[in-house]
Amino acid sequence: MTHSLSKLALAVATLGLGAAAVAGCGNDVPAGSVAKVGDTTITKKDFDKWLKTAASGQAQGGPAVVPDPPDFARCVATKQKQPTQSRSQPTGAALKKQCKQEYDQLKGEVMQFLIQSEWVQQEAKARDVKVSDAEVSRSFADQKKQAFPNDKAYKKFLASSGMSEQDILYRVKLDQLQQKLTQKVTEDEGKVSSADVKDYYNKNKKRFAQPERRDLNVVLTKNKAKAEQAKKALDGGKSFKSVAKKYSIDEASKSQGGKLPDVARGQQEKALDKAVFAAKKRKITGPVKTQFGWYVFEVTKVKAASQQSLAQASETIRNLLKSQRQQKALNSFIKNFRNDYKDKTVCADDYRIAECKNGPKEKTDTGPASGGAPGGAQQAPQQQAPGRAPAAPGGAGGAPPQQAPPQQTPPSGGSPQAPSGP
């Protein structure tokens, strides 16, 4: 499963899904438990169950090896039976070290999954966000249909992943909770009035203006002599296509028969830009010296500057403002959610991770460990288990990506991009 529930829970934490006020808690983790989030304990039984699932997910077709600390005797014995490409058999000490490394990684992933899943559920409860069994069943059925061609393939996945259908339904429910939480945080922030739209338009009128653009035929040569030869051929009635093919060193425009469309002021090298916007239509102009060589060109079409009206720009502006406000709501929670829930999360001594109040000092990257959540390792994209999380923040009702600013055309030619919206 390439998308993990650990990523789901982390996505919720980083999405900005709104924080309830939380109280501090003691550092006592009950016997038989690995962590405590507020008044809720995460049992060692649950940890062992998901550890086994994680090991099965990383087995890659071979037997699942569940690392067994502290001696890792069973893990070492299993690895000793596996074929190796090395000429010499790894020592018991080397295999034990490998088993410990695998265990530490899986332990971190499982703890992160269990803790962050609890965070999601507690936040949902605090905000009165609920997912019905019917909703879970419908989502599960849809995802199962997309992920597996038939029931046989699904059962094969269950056998290899170490998960039961109940495990998958649990993950589907968490995914549904995340989507509803995201929607809950952003629903009121997406309201944009006509006055808001008009105010934005009046303050940003230039962003809705389309400058004058010109279509060109161009030939770029290495020196002035070649440029004069090209101009002479054009003046003599030769086509730009044939002249560009013979003389031009600009492969981009040359491959288009010399055409360079939609050139706006300021996109080309200064000398060429000045000449292009001073030239008359259908007049062979040049040679013009630039840092890239000598140009001979012709303006074939002039497209007048234009201004989008408020009515024409309204939908774009409304979507932009809605997106910005939703993103602001999501971002505002990033500052609080994780810290608030971490502050009421304590872990047993051997199970401390970054999500624990008493955990190790965090590095700058606090994302999920490599390998994903339990059961999430090796599934092909076309057979992801149901219950995967959205791939990006805001996957359910989040802000759409904003357009990139316009880019200038490289001097070597090629068609420029039209200016994007705000």
Torsion angle in degrees (nearest 10) through CA of 81, 84, 88, 93: -60
Is 29:347 a contact under the CB 8 Å cutoff? yes
Q: Give the pLDDT band (50/70/90) at residue 66.
A: confident
Residue 1 has pLDDT above 90, yes or no: no
**Which residues, including other chains, have CB under 8 Å from residue 274's CB and lie 6 or more apart?**
none
Confidence of residue 391 (pLDDT cuts 50, 70, 90): very low
Q: Is residue 217 part of a domain?
A: yes
- In this predicted model, which residue has the larger pLDDT, 118 or 378? 118
Mean pLDDT of all residues belonging to the chain? 79
User: Residue 5 and residue 170: Cα distance in Å, rounded?
Assistant: 10
C-alpha torsion 128→134→137→140, nearest 10: -50
Provide mean pLDDT across the span 310-338: 88
Q: How far apart are CA 52 and CA 64, in angstroms?
A: 8
DSSP 75: H
Residue 318 has pLDDT above 70, yes or no: yes
Instruction: Using alpha carbons, list the distances in angstroms from residue 86 to 72, 74, 80, 91, 93.
Output: 22, 22, 12, 12, 16
Last residue of a domain, one of 248, 273, 304: 304
Convert the pLDDT of each residue in 189-217 to its tens digit: 778 999 999 999 999 999 999 899 999 99
The stretch 127-151 carries a mean pLDDT of 94
CA–CA separation, 345 vs 340, rounded Å? 9
Judge whether residue 346 has pLDDT over 70.
yes
* Same domain? 241 vs 344: no
Is pLDDT at 151 greater than 60 in this prediction? yes
**Domains identified in the chain, total number:** 2
Tell me: do 99 and 154 sit in the same domain. yes
pLDDT over 70, % of the chain: 77
| Within a domain: 268 | yes
Model confidence at 59, pLDDT cuts 50, 70, 90, reads low
99 and 229 together in one domain:
no
Instruction: Give the model's confidence band at 383: pLDDT under 50 very low, under 70 low, under 90 confident, else very high.
Output: very low
Question: pLDDT at residue 399 above 60?
Answer: no
Structural domain includes residue 204: no
> What single letter denotes the amino acid at residue 55?
A
Task: Indicate whether 87 belongs to any domain.
Answer: yes
Same domain, 116 and 233: no
378 and 265 in a common domain: no
Mean pLDDT of the region 255-261: 91
* Predicted confidence (pLDDT) per residue in 239-250, tens digit: 999 999 999 999
Classified as helix, coil or strand, 36 is strand
Task: Write down the pLDDT at residue 62.
Answer: 59
Q: Is residue 29 domain-resident? A: yes
Q: Are residues 129 and 276 in the same domain?
A: no
CATH number of the domain where residue 280 is located: 3.10.50.40
| Measured distance CA(155)–CA(161) in Å, rounded | 10
**Range in 133-147, 153-167, 287-301, 339-353 the model is least confident about:** 153-167
Q: Structural domain of residue 111, as residue ranges?
A: 5-190+327-383
Q: How far apart are the first and last CA of the chain?
A: 38
Same domain, 223 and 185: no
Specify the higher pLDDT residue, 325 or 186: 325
Instruction: Say which range, 150-154, 179-183, 297-301, 358-362, has the weakest mean pLDDT.
Output: 358-362
26 and 69 housed in the same domain: yes
- Which has the closest alpha carbon to 358: 17, 23, 3, 24? 24
Instruction: Please report whether residue 167 resides in a domain.
Output: yes
- Domain annotation covers residue 417: no
- The Cα 164–Cα 153 span in angstroms is 14
Query: What is the per-residue pLDDT for 362?
Result: 67
Query: Residue 158: its pLDDT value, please?
Result: 87
Assess whether 174 and 72 both reside in one domain. yes
On whether both 112 and 62 belong to a single domain, the answer is yes
Claim to verify: residue 73 and residue 182 sit in the same structural domain: yes
Instruction: Decide the pairing of beta strands 209-210 and 213-221.
Output: unpaired
Same domain as 153, residue 77: yes
Is 30 part of any domain? yes
